[in-house]
Amino acid sequence: MANKEIPYKIYLNESEMPKYWYNLRADMKNKPAPLLNPGTGKPMTAEELGGVFCEDLVKQELDNDTREYPVPQEILDFYKMYRPSPLVRAYCLEKKLNTPAKIYYKFEGNNTSGSHKLNSAIAQAYYAKKQGLKGVTTETGAGQWGTALSMACAYFDLDCKVFMVKVSYEQKPFRREVMRVYGADVTPSPSMTTQIGQKILAEHPGTTGSLGCAISEAVEVAVGTEGYRYVLGSVLNQVLLHQSVIGVETKIAMDKYGIKPDVIIGCAGGGSNLGGLIAPFMGEKLRGEADYRIVAVEPASCPSLTRGVYAYDFADTGMVCPLAKMYTLGSDFIPAPNHAGGLRYHGMSPILSQLYDDGMMEAVSVPQTRVFDAAETFARTEGILPAPESSHAICAAIDEAIKCKETGEEKTILFGLTGTGYFDLVAYQKYHDGQMDDYVPTDEELKQFRARLPKV
Amino acid sequence: MANKEIPYKIYLNESEMPKYWYNLRADMKNKPAPLLNPGTGKPMTAEELGGVFCEDLVKQELDNDTREYPVPQEILDFYKMYRPSPLVRAYCLEKKLNTPAKIYYKFEGNNTSGSHKLNSAIAQAYYAKKQGLKGVTTETGAGQWGTALSMACAYFDLDCKVFMVKVSYEQKPFRREVMRVYGADVTPSPSMTTQIGQKILAEHPGTTGSLGCAISEAVEVAVGTEGYRYVLGSVLNQVLLHQSVIGVETKIAMDKYGIKPDVIIGCAGGGSNLGGLIAPFMGEKLRGEADYRIVAVEPASCPSLTRGVYAYDFADTGMVCPLAKMYTLGSDFIPAPNHAGGLRYHGMSPILSQLYDDGMMEAVSVPQTRVFDAAETFARTEGILPAPESSHAICAAIDEAIKCKETGEEKTILFGLTGTGYFDLVAYQKYHDGQMDDYVPTDEELKQFRARLPKV
């Protein structure tokens, strides 16, 4: 052990656990652009948003000023069931790489949802319950968000209707089964239970569905059913607010032992994990109190930050949701098959998009086979089987550590290990069997999608 | 929170973690009966056992006297990667049951093997490496032990050959894939790579294999290959020794907060988890220093303690292994289909068998559907999706807690939550779809198997 005083894994005591979420927007000079009503082109009002989302969550969504939100006691009680998550020093990985770098990772996978998604799911379920609602609707692709929301709804005795992209529903029966354990009602999307589903099925009879279509169905049911609202697991400001618990906990643990990261790395799909992990560090950077390199890692097959444009776009392919200003590839962009379902989103959180546009963070993209090389190295040295999404961050962290080996720099690298890969073994199988695709879209392809962006 | 001073989850600090394994045999007045050579009927010597097992493990197997074994530093370093495991107060389950009982569980599932099996796998791999071996062989049924051993071998850079029961190999491709991530060589059993496999396939061309057959193949390869030995994940004395880390950690945590369990409950297949969990508590009981009720829980479909006999029997169906004196249903007993693969063993650890015969512990059996009722209640209240094996202990703990509700007693119940059910979702699916079997063998059936026990 390099430093005897720092434990291998840092678990905060319960008394040290954060009691507030940190709202990064309070420290941003350039605030994220507002959501627009696609009909009027004007900013969505609280009233308009309240028809779709829970009241308190709408307030959080629109609040660019309040710096710290006290976490309600009911949510703190639930957090105690699976938090604090450990901050781990990757001694074995460092040794394997023979690097002078110090590598830390914050591991969010030690709960049944298998990822950080539970941090926001329990918050959204709490506010739905507080409002006296009967239930919530949502969509899920890979299934992590749907699982997390099912767990949260079981805890608060709320009805949970999940529209699961049909291809996932059929290929991932185990994810579906976990949601059933928690009492959720899981429907393959598109379905005949909604008007939009019926329309899509009439137009495309054999379709296996898409996240955009599932969003549209979930929103339709929420808006049309008494006592229901729609909830979402990423992209939105409120989600990044809840996920700040990751970063705040990390920072408390690092401060306790006098550790300061030089580089902070996270995978980025819609931005929920990255936005949460970096929040308090980015806050210091925005206030000029400290400096950090902050790196978003995305799949080369779906490179919204590295090859997208910063523009208003639809959040869903069905074009029923508000317009968000974000780095986007176009709402009808369909990435080539890759196995990080959580990173297959065409856009990016408006908060992170603004910070990236302001030069406050970097972004890199990595091809899939390299991601799985990194995943396997990590599994064999650190013992944890990582999710494909998380493995993007591992890959970039390994690249940084190897650079340190070349330069001799003893940098401190922090990355977010968002989840486990227990439900992603088909992907590992393809990797082992040499059947993994590394397709990257051409400039010409990206240009075509870009040409169809809405005119605002 | 009932007691503000006791945290929701107790994690020991690294400095508090146990540095030794506790050898329960040192305190047993009636020692477990020795393993016998099936050819001569005489106790197996260290030399005979050394042809199959690693040197240091043979010493541990035969050592009825040493009370505390210092855990080698290399193993302590590995333990730090996933231990200490949390001791959790099941507040939400207590509330759901409306019981005055205090329920605690020791959760061993927060590692990629998904169970407590890693505690012994890393020890056995360490001693194999220390002896300068090239690799080890083993068998696996449900796959938890095979996964744990693969992880341990990857860590020490040892070759790992796993014979996986063919029906599991085909039905659980994901378990197999995890082992491949860790570089293990996984062969469906019976196979054409061994003489015994060829013989079995010639006699039963369409067989889907059995644990007994896989053991025979693994032993044949270990004995016949230079630099290899065979390792086993349960039943043996050495395994219970390593697994005592569960109980010792639990006891340190409970002593720290002045908690004393009245009842200690664990599921029992071969006995690795139960023997580990109860070790230091049973030690106090044997020395007359304290009293505890200790309860083994087994499936009604495979009731070795509750309906078996205490006799010498073969450990495997191939009858190549030494004879062990244990509670057994007969080595050719095949339990009705049930989904707790880890509890489908015909016998029971010789140590636990002796203690049970001496009246030092109780045993109950539970039908499968009730086990899954308990599993789902637990998942929805405590958040963790439990393994079917572990759910046997949950079921018995809930029964105890409900008794406390009836009598008003504020008993403290401790149970072992051995692992997670992420790879057991086919079982949950059958449960949800009402297709779960609760077959229990008849007395007549058990009598037939009993009649075929070896004459010693």
Give the separation between CA B159 and CA B150, rounded to whole angstroms.
9
Asked whether residue A158 falls in the same domain as residue A99, the answer is no
Report pLDDT for A280: 98
Report pLDDT for B141: 83
Tens digits of pLDDT across chain A (456 residues): 344 478 889 999 989 999 999 999 999 999 999 999 988 999 999 999 999 999 999 999 999 999 999 999 999 999 999 999 999 999 999 999 999 999 999 999 999 999 999 999 999 999 999 999 999 999 998 899 999 999 999 999 999 999 998 988 888 889 999 999 999 999 999 999 999 999 989 998 888 888 878 998 999 999 999 999 999 999 999 999 999 999 999 999 999 999 999 999 999 999 999 999 999 999 999 999 999 999 999 999 999 999 999 999 998 777 778 999 999 999 888 787 778 888 888 999 999 999 999 999 999 999 999 999 999 999 999 999 999 999 999 999 999 999 999 999 999 999 999 999 999 999 999 999 999 989 999 999 999 999 999 988
State chain B's mean pLDDT as an integer. 94
pLDDT grade for B416, boundaries at 50, 70 and 90: very high
Give the separation between CA A129 and CA B231, rounded to whole angstroms.
52
Any CB–CB contact under 8 A between A422 and chain B?
Answer: yes
pLDDT grade for B3, boundaries at 50, 70 and 90: very low
Give the separation between CA A8 and CA A10, rounded to whole angstroms.
7
Give the separation between CA B358 and CA B365, rounded to whole angstroms.
19
Structure tokens at B388: 């079917």
Record: contact B80-A151, CB cut-off 8 A: no
Asked whether residue A185 falls in the same domain as residue A210, the answer is yes
Three-state DSSP at B420 gives: strand
Q: Is the peptide bond before A205 cis (omega within 30 degrees of 0)?
A: no
Asked whether residue A125 falls in the same domain as residue A110, the answer is no
- Who among A80, A112, A383 is closest to B82 (CB)? A383
Any CB–CB contact under 8 A between A230 and chain B?
Answer: no
Q: Which run of H or E residues covers position B441?
A: none
Q: Which residue of A has its CA nearest to B150?
A: A380
CA B55 and chain centroid, separation: 22
Asked whether residue B387 falls in the same domain as residue B347, the answer is yes
Q: Count up the domains in chain B and report the number.
A: 2
> Does A20 map to a domain?
no
CATH number at residue B266: 3.40.50.1100
* Class of residue A5 by CB neighbours under 10 A (exposed 0-12, middle 13-18, buried 19+): exposed
Higher-confidence residue of B29 and B2: namely B29
CB B70, CB B232: distance < 8 Å:
no
Asked whether residue A44 falls in the same domain as residue A192, the answer is yes
pLDDT in tens, B237-249: 999 999 999 999 9
Q: Which domain holds residue B172?
A: 26-69+117-230
pLDDT in tens, B124-164: 999 999 999 999 999 998 899 999 999 999 999 999 999 99
Using an 8 Å CB-CB cutoff, list chain A residues near B154.
379-380
Any CB–CB contact under 8 A between B256 and chain A?
Answer: no
Any CB–CB contact under 8 A between A195 and chain B?
Answer: no
Any CB–CB contact under 8 A between B17 and chain A?
Answer: no
Using an 8 Å CB-CB cutoff, list chain B residues near A173.
425, 429
- B85-104 residues touching A, CB cutoff 8 A: 92
CB B312, CB B454: distance < 8 Å:
yes
Report pLDDT for A1: 38
pLDDT grade for B2, boundaries at 50, 70 and 90: very low
Q: For chain B, what is the largest distance between any 2 Cα atoms, rounded to a whole number of angstroms? A: 65
> Does B13 map to a domain?
no
Asked whether residue A110 falls in the same domain as residue A121, the answer is no
Asked whether residue A100 falls in the same domain as residue A127, the answer is no
> Does B160 map to a domain?
yes
Report pLDDT for A319: 76
Any CB–CB contact under 8 A between B446 and chain A?
Answer: no
> Does B237 map to a domain?
no
pLDDT in tens, B35-68: 999 889 999 999 999 999 999 999 999 999 999 9
Record: contact A112-B82, CB cut-off 8 A: no
Q: Which run of H or E residues covers position B56?
A: helix B55-62
Q: Which residues of B425-437 are buried (b: 16+ CB within 10 A; e: fewer)?
A: bebbbbbeeeebe
* Class of residue A438 by CB neighbours under 10 A (exposed 0-12, middle 13-18, buried 19+): middle
CA distance B349 to chain A (A): 29
Q: Hey, what amino acid is at A294?
A: I
Asked whether residue A197 falls in the same domain as residue A128, the answer is yes
Running DSSP on this structure, what letter comes out for residue A15?
G
> Does A444 map to a domain?
no
Three-state DSSP at B216 gives: helix
CB A185, CB A159: distance < 8 Å:
yes
Q: Which residue of B has its CA nearest to A430?
A: B177
Last residue of a domain, one of B230, B259, B292: B230
In total, the C-beta contacts within 8 angstroms joining chain A to chain B are: 101
Higher-confidence residue of B440 and B341: namely B440
Sign of CA dihedral B376, B382, B385, B387: negative
Q: Is the pLDDT of residue B268 over 60?
A: yes
Record: contact B383-A82, CB cut-off 8 A: yes
Last residue of a domain, one of B230, B261, B293: B230
Asked whether residue B354 falls in the same domain as residue B434, the answer is yes
The runs of H, that is alpha helices, within A204-269 are: 211-224, 237-256
**What ipTM was reported for this prediction?**
0.92
> Does A236 map to a domain?
no
Last residue of a domain, one of A230, A264, A288: A230
- Who among B11, B182, B381 is closest to A11 (CB)? B11
> Does B161 map to a domain?
yes
CA A404 and chain centroid, separation: 28
> Does A42 map to a domain?
yes
Asked whether residue A282 falls in the same domain as residue A219, the answer is no
Give the separation between CA B88 and CA A121, rounded to whole angstroms.
22
Asked whether residue A127 falls in the same domain as residue A142, the answer is yes
Asked whether residue B220 falls in the same domain as residue B259, the answer is no
Using an 8 Å CB-CB cutoff, list chain A residues near B430.
none
